[in-house]
Chains A and B, each alone.
Chain A
């Protein structure tokens, strides 16, 4: 602890509701939690002598306050950190999503614009576009990239995937490519499973809960979607593909009261992790919103119970990761480690990833594709691989320019700015404006409550801190 007086460097702060905690964060990504309600006022007013000595030491080590003699150095370190963070966000896109078909065998309640009937014509991406798609990916990406097949149900056009990967192995041989198929699993066959194994493909499969929940959220006209899913899970196990598979769950309103049961259900599947997420509130009729929708507060009341149960399971000795919490933990503790496209500043639009739709149109994000299906705003289209492998996103440069969090109303003064991201398409779709009013934004409310919860648990719960650390160590 220094004997010299200390002065504030620029920092952000937030009193975490329903707690005595105030979080302070710096542009360098450091945070310090203040325990006493009076601390933040003493800090802001530069009455540092009234703060506990160890807090001042911590704030000084993290460059949130500084002595006069080190002030210029600390300010320059902040500038370097901020420059590094922006530089990282300006890296080349690393995620390339491809929609081999819009056709799907499910009628999920929360999927309005990303599916077509199973027999629909003209909803498949033709294999003759593969060369253009690969040219585009090759010229846009860095050495490391992920190619993700989405839908519709991508396995309904497995022929395309097979041909694509065999050509990609040649075209992208200089790069380190990982493949993911996002699927309902219901069309998995022996042949496909073997292919997945041989090509070392990862599977992201949807499972929303027990039979009732799953079938309510994800019904199919053709079969019992839950029973068939479980059959296919057995097939994956027989083929030793469990380690290739991760699971994703989307929550609808009827599940809000069943957080604990839901967590226990996922744990009972003998899987290592679960990615649980709220609805993407795009393109719903108001009747649908009433049936399945919720506010961010309602969702977080549910999620808090869910995460507590997951932590209890971990404390009892089995490692079981909540991927959504881990994304946020990574953002807090490992600046630059996660390339999660929703959590970037400037936004992950185009810069984080691209999506090639079934009709060959290229968009800067999955949400852009959904918004295009709803509005047909041609500004959202940044390319068309049926014509060429060129990209033109001049229409989106202004949107990207307006997605630096430190310059956005509602974000510039937010304590979670160092960890959060801009999601302009979400705000464009829900509020008609890419910046949006953050007080009325599901995205913002959800992220704010997430960080509130994680920091509160980190500070107040030894169990949670212990479990979070084991997840981070992976």
Chain B
């Protein structure tokens, strides 16, 4: 895999006993009523040694050694020590272009291009870790919540929000969900009432304009009806929705119709994001049957954008490299790839548009890489 533009892990030793979440150097939050995480603080006298301190204690209860400087982290960041693998990993990082917390790996969709294929093991403790991380981080940046399907375990999801509320936390959330759970009106009402004034943007995928193609791509019966009902219910509760479309071979031709569907039926959505597939997980496994080169998506993208423009539906392109797509589309292309999995090829370094371009996924290497093209 190619090296990312921001590294969010570092190797450590002597950490077998210290797996868990830590705050680096100092608490950001002035609220000390929250369940505080231990602090990881630099030994001023010895390079690469970090002490572990209990809250409000200056006595180290242990120490770890890093094999490299942790300068890609900032004081106040939430980090995770994975003692087993000898790694320290950023969880909420002030220098990151986006922070996303994984709250479960379970999912009721099984998307053919899923970059993080769902698992079945009980991982309910992830919700609690996410809540602890947000509370201890104390910065009010928009924070992503992702899965799996964050709302699959309805109780765990509600409890997660209630936990944040109970400490008066107001962190705005960007929650990636398949929306199916919200087809149940009561759950939708419960959740939106729990959210109260908290800003929340729901990123919800629609891969077709009717059941057949959508259900095929997410490999779940009834998913389309449930997802669309869920979006309708969330919109009815005044929630902000981002619809996410991943064009692959099976639905590329219907991309303009998907935009028509959204405009005709769900036109109160805040954004539509068209997201080029990340060649990771199942997308890598099913690559040959799903993959469409970005360049070959141009005419469908142009048609979709034209419809969106006519209706003033806000639309954006994610994960596209500027050299692969039509110049007219450039103004819609976002630098959307999270920095810890983002890179530019050697050819990119000579490109005049590099600073405006989103580059590639680190997973797009070897045969999965679309070679940069010269601008003509």
Contact = CB atoms under 8 A, between A and B. Distances in A.
Contact of A3 (B212, B264, B306, B309): B212
B210 interface: yes
Contacts of A77: 228, 232, 265-266
A57 B257 contact: yes
Contacts of A469: 306, 309-310
B287 interface: no
A472 B225 contact: no
Contacts of B309: 469, 472-473
B146 interface: no
Q: Is the interface of B mostly helix, strand, loop or mixed?
A: helix
Given A26-B264, A60-B209, A80-B235, 17 more contacts: A2-B212, A30-B264, A60-B210, A61-B209, A62-B260, A62-B261, A67-B210, A70-B224, A70-B225, A74-B265, A80-B232, A84-B268, A334-B311, A335-B267, A337-B312, A472-B310, A473-B310
Of B210, B263, B266, B306, chain A has the most CB atoms within 10 Å of the CB of: B210
Interface string A53-92: 0000110111100010110011011001100100000000
Interface of B: 209-212, 224-225, 228-229, 232, 235-236, 254, 257-258, 260-261, 263-268, 306, 309-312
A453 to B, nearest CB: 18
Contacts of B228: 73, 77
17 contacts: A30-B260, A30-B264, A58-B260, A61-B209, A61-B210, A61-B260, A63-B264, A70-B211, A73-B229, A76-B232, A77-B228, A81-B264, A333-B311, A337-B312, A469-B306, A472-B310, A473-B310
Size bin of chain A's contact surface:
20 to 34
Contacts of B312: 333-334, 337, 472
Contacts of A3: 212
Top 10 nearest A-B pairs by Cβ distance? A30-B264, A61-B257, A61-B209, A62-B264, A61-B260, A61-B261, A77-B265, A2-B210, A73-B225, A333-B311
Contacts, number: 72
B183 to A, nearest CB: 9
A337 B267 CA distance: 12
A69 B222 CA distance: 9
Contacts of B266: 77
A67 B211 contact: yes
Contacts of A26: 264
A73 B223 CA distance: 12
A26 B265 CA distance: 11
Contact of B211 (A57, A61, A69, A334): A69
Nearest to A74: B265
A74 B258 CA distance: 15
Nearest to B209: A61
B264 to A, nearest CB: 4
Contacts of A76: 229, 232
A28 interface: yes
A391 B10 CA distance: 70
A246 to B, nearest CB: 21
Contact of B265 (A58, A81, A472, A473): A81
B229 A61 contact: no
A29 interface: yes
Contact of A28 (B211, B229, B264, B310): B264
A244 B212 CA distance: 53
Nearest to A62: B264
A154 B258 CA distance: 50
A84 B238 CA distance: 12
Contacts of B224: 70
A216 B135 CA distance: 74
Interface string A3-29: 110000000000000000000001011
Contact of B263 (A30, A70, A74, A80): A30
A77 B236 CA distance: 11
Contacts of A80: 232, 235-236
A80 B235 CA distance: 10
Contacts of B261: 61-63
A3 B211 CA distance: 11
Nearest to A78: B265
A61 B307 CA distance: 13
Contacts of A473: 309-310
A334 B314 CA distance: 12
A334 B313 CA distance: 9
